[in-house]
Amino acid sequence: MSPATIFLLHLALGYVPWLLCVGVYILPRLRSLTGVEAQRAIATLHSFRFFGLVFIIPGVVGPNLPADFATFAAYGDFATGVLAMLALLTIRIRPLFWLFVVAFNLVGTIDIGVDYYHGSQAGLPAVAGELGATYAIPVIYVPLLMITHAVAFYLMLRPQLQATRVFAGDAAASP
C-alpha cells in the first residue's frame, strides 16, 4: 500500500472510533447538560487548538510540507483556539459567550474544511511523511474536532426545533 493510500485510510478511519465514542459516551452526557454547560465543555476541548501552530515549526514538520497547507492550518487552528478561550472567559456575559461559541464553531469548521481542500490540492497524501510528529493531528485529533463542531451546531439548533414544535402544537390545538 502506498503512503498516500495509508494516509487517506487513516483520515477516513479516524472518524469511526470518534463517532462511536461520541455517540455512546459524549453526546448523551452533553444532552443532559444545559446548553451553556455543553457548549462550555466543547469550547474547552477547542481551546487547545493553539497547538496547530506546530505545523509551521521547522524541525517538527518536514521541510517539504506544503506551505499553503501548513500556514492556513496553523493560523486557522490558532484563531479557533483563541475564540474558544474567549468563549470560556465570557461565560458570565451570556450574549458575548454565545457570540464566541458561534464564532469558534464557524471558524473551526471552515478551517478544517479548507485544510482538507488545501491538503488535497497540495498533494498532502503523497508527502504525508512530511507531517513528522504532527501526523497524528489530522488522523486522530481533527476527526474529534469536526465531530464536536457538528455536535455544537446540533445542540445550538435543538432548542429552536423544540420551541418550533411547541408553537406548532399550540397552533394545532387552537380552534
- In this structure, what are the phi and psi dihedrals at residue 111, rounded to the nearest 5 degrees? -55, -50
* pTM, 2 dp: 0.88
The per-residue pLDDT for range 90-133, each reduced to its tens digit, is 999 999 999 999 999 999 999 999 999 999 999 999 999 999 99
* Confidence class for position 168, pLDDT limits 50, 70, 90: low
The per-residue pLDDT for range 43-100, each reduced to its tens digit, is 999 999 999 999 999 999 999 999 889 999 999 999 999 999 999 999 999 999 999 9
**Alpha-carbon span 61 to 74, nearest angstrom:** 12
CA nearest neighbour of 109 among 134, 142, 140: 142
**Alpha-carbon span 145 to 149, nearest angstrom:** 6
Contact 91, 36 (CB under 8 A): yes
Contact 72, 58 (CB under 8 A): no
Contact 114, 68 (CB under 8 A): no
Cell numbers linked to 160: 429552536
User: Residue 170: in which H helix or E strand, if any?
Assistant: helix 142-173
